[in-house]
Chain A
Amino acid sequence: MAKATFLEAIRQAQYEEMSRDERVFIMGEDIICNVFGTTTGFVDAFGTERVRDTPISENGFIGAAGGAAMVGMRPIVDATISSFLYPAMDQIMSIIAKSRYIYGGQARLPLVIRSCLFYGNSNAAQHSDRNYSMFMNVPGLKIMVPSNAYDMKGMLKAAVRDDDPVLCFEDSTCWMSKADLPDDPDFLIPLGKGDIKREGNDVSIIAIGGAVPLALKAANDLARDGISAEVVDPRSLVPLDKELILRSVRKTGRAITVDPAHQTCSAGSEIAALIAERAFDALRGPVLRVATADTHLPFSPAIEKALYPSPERIVAAARQLVGIRQPENA
């Protein structure tokens, strides 16, 4: 067990799974030169047949991953930045999500498509997408958005072993966060199992990906005001641990969803709807959504930062729901 970053967690998960199972291989743009450090040492360990640089041709190589999966391989595709999934929507939506279904279960597509959420650092609108919610609207794709290095490692290893296609979204605001990473080769965190990151009684904050650290910071601040916030991390959006979310909301009676995606049709919106439908009787106020504003992300840092969820916006939402309390030791 040693402290390591989120990116190192990805590297370890991939390395361990490629060592364990020779059907696993990785391909994508600039894998060999190893831009983000998630394939350090891979060519030496596994050779260039299993560590493949691709043309800049997302529809081609993501579709090829689907074809390779159908004949018994277990590809990991590194699509780099999630905005680059758009050229491959044809293959992701029509082939990868639907082949098992339209062929009546004859096809099996065990593959992982990794991409990062590359927002918050003046990369302008075309490189800053947080687009997991879009993929939730099509059945057949599992979707994970881990918020820390520990979850990342266990979930990515589980994703590689999963027999269904998994989209792994990697929040770049978490890249340098560190955690103790187990070195057990079978350390797995199953998809579909959420996690309570902090227990509390007054309000449930259901946060996604990079919003989890923001929610934890907000919960600290709220504690000073005497507000006890529970932070719920779904970790995967498909399958979604609905019972964990509903149990928390039934306990606290209040809910805020925090989602780095644009608000309209976001995962946070879907979770808010779930709570309104199935825990309405327990609610003591409206379900509030803290999300990125429904506008594009501008280049200038002077006007980009304020558009995202922040601890301040989460604190304000919690205060609105709970009402301002006196700090306990004031």
Chain B
Amino acid sequence: MTDGQNDRSLEKYRRMQRIRQFEDLAEAIHAQGEIPGSLHTYAGQEASGVGACMALNDTDYMVGTHRSHGHPIAKGAKLRPLMAELLGKATGICKGKGGSMHLSDFSVGSLGETSIVGSGVPVAAGAALGSKLQGNGRVALCFFGDGATNEGAFHEGMNLAAVWALPAIFVCENNGYAVSTPASATVPVKDVAERARAYGMPSIIVDGQDVDAVEAAVAEAVGRARTGGGPTLVETKTYRYADHAVNMGRILLDRGGEVDEWRKRDPLTLYRAKLIAGGTAAALLDAIEREVADEVADALQFARDSAWPEQAEAFDDVFVDRLPIPDFITA
């Protein structure tokens, strides 16, 4: 393994660790009431997000979903503003106005993590159209789940991207469930990837627990998109460990031993073993884990130390100019 490959592998491991540790901490403090609202965690799907994002350039675009924490971290976002957003603080990446379902960092190319299922697909198609019109060589990647592929927005966005040969990559992170409903009950084809055929679009099915495999699959799609070959649908077969949202007070669905089965193929464990087998020192990986633990703890401390947003903030960013603030607020 060359040093360059090694750096890249370690970066993948680091980003997956960041997501896992960020999610574990977020779930814990959410249980204590420190994070308001609902929390949809990404633990289990790390290889899907990190593999896909590692195939992109920093300037490429990305659109994601309500399960929003993993995507920006995968694309390289800093943790402090993300954690501050979860706590609803002024220093949050969305100034405390988006929260857990919208951790979107535009500085790493994000164009939103949108919580209406399927609604990101047309946005990504539009960003790809913008790239095409500007001739800037950027591609737009869209994450969504298996559930989204039953939404009209998915089909309309896929169709548009295909008919205009847009530089887009559609990544279905198939974790098997739409909230509690298994994909087998709602998707009439064996693999979501089959749906690409309806749009004359190539598709790839990949093991979503294998970060290298995901990166290779998405890199193939990115290469096609960047050279005028149009969009690709990539289906990553993956799994989320938690319920649809955590700490809801009841289990929506008893998945039996299924979770334990998937944990045997945990993406971080698999990758750690692969790297060690390839000659990476375990101590190096341990050091990364410790560094990430410090980073995540620092992000939480930063979030806790940050101020709440001012009430006037609620009237900013509706339009480019701040709205007038009503009397009952200022009184």
Contacts and interface: CB of A to CB of B under 8 A. Distances in A.
Contact of A63 (B96, B122, B128, B132): B122
B203 interface: no
Interface string B104-128: 1110000110101001011111111
Given A63-B153, A66-B126, A71-B61, A57 B159 contact: yes
Nearest to B321: A164
A72 B131 CA distance: 9
Contacts of B133: 25, 49-50, 68, 73
A42 interface: no
Contact of B95 (A52, A71, A73, A104): A104
Interface stretch (A11-19, A91-99, A317-325): A91-99
B153 A67 contact: no
A54 B160 contact: yes
A49 B227 CA distance: 18
A164 B126 contact: no
Given A94-B116, A139-B318, A55 B104 contact: no
A164 B114 contact: no
Contact of A104 (B94, B119, B129, B138): B94
Contacts of B145: none
Interface in A133-174: 139-140, 142, 163-164
A59 B111 CA distance: 18
B93 interface: yes
A72 B130 contact: yes
A66 to B, nearest CB: 6
Interface string A61-81: 111111111111101000000
Nearest to B116: A94
A166 B105 CA distance: 25
Given A59-B153, A71-B130, A72-B134, A103 B102 contact: yes
Interface stretch (A105-113, A290-298, A302-310): A105-113
Given A91-B122, A104-B98, A71 B153 contact: no
A91 B122 CA distance: 8
A64 B317 contact: no
A257 B131 CA distance: 46
B27 to A, nearest CB: 22
A250 interface: no
Nearest to A67: B126
Contacts of A59: 122, 152-153, 156
B156 A102 contact: no
B316 A105 contact: yes
A91 B119 contact: yes
B291 to A, nearest CB: 28
B199 to A, nearest CB: 11
A290 to B, nearest CB: 29
Contacts of A57: 156, 159-160
Nearest to A164: B319
Contact of A100 (B126, B134, B317): B317
A307 B3 CA distance: 77
A162 to B, nearest CB: 8
Interface in A253-288: none
B163 interface: yes
Nearest to A58: B156
Contacts of A60: 122, 125, 153, 156-157, 159-160
Interface string B318-331: 11100100000000
Given A54-B160, A100-B317, A104-B94, A64 B126 contact: yes
A36 interface: no
A103 B119 contact: no
B134 A63 contact: no
A146 B279 CA distance: 71
Interface centre among B106, B112, B124, B152 (most CB of A within 10 A): B112
A80 to B, nearest CB: 16
A103 B112 contact: yes
A100 B98 CA distance: 10
A99 B98 CA distance: 10
Contacts of A87: 152
Interface in B123-178: 123-134, 138, 140, 152-153, 156-157, 159-160, 163-164
A42 to B, nearest CB: 15
A54 to B, nearest CB: 7
B114 A104 contact: no
A214 B7 CA distance: 72
Interface string A33-55: 00000000000000001101011
B156 A106 contact: no
A36 B312 CA distance: 44
Given A49-B133, A72-B134, A61 B160 contact: yes
Contacts of A25: 133
Contacts of A100: 317-320
Interface centre among B116, B153, B163 (most CB of A within 10 A): B153
Contacts of B131: 71
B265 interface: no
B163 to A, nearest CB: 6
Nearest to A56: B156
Nearest to A242: B324
Contacts of A90: 116, 119, 152-153
B125 A104 contact: no
21 contacts: A25-B133, A49-B132, A60-B122, A60-B156, A63-B153, A64-B157, A67-B124, A67-B127, A67-B130, A68-B133, A70-B123, A71-B130, A73-B130, A94-B119, A95-B112, A95-B119, A101-B97, A103-B102, A106-B104, A140-B319, A164-B320
Given A67-B123, A90-B119, A107-B112, 14 more contacts: A25-B133, A55-B163, A59-B152, A60-B157, A60-B159, A62-B122, A64-B125, A66-B122, A68-B130, A69-B126, A70-B130, A71-B111, A73-B129, A91-B153
CB-based closest 9 A-B pairs? A67-B126, A63-B122, A60-B156, A64-B126, A104-B95, A104-B94, A71-B130, A67-B123, A106-B106
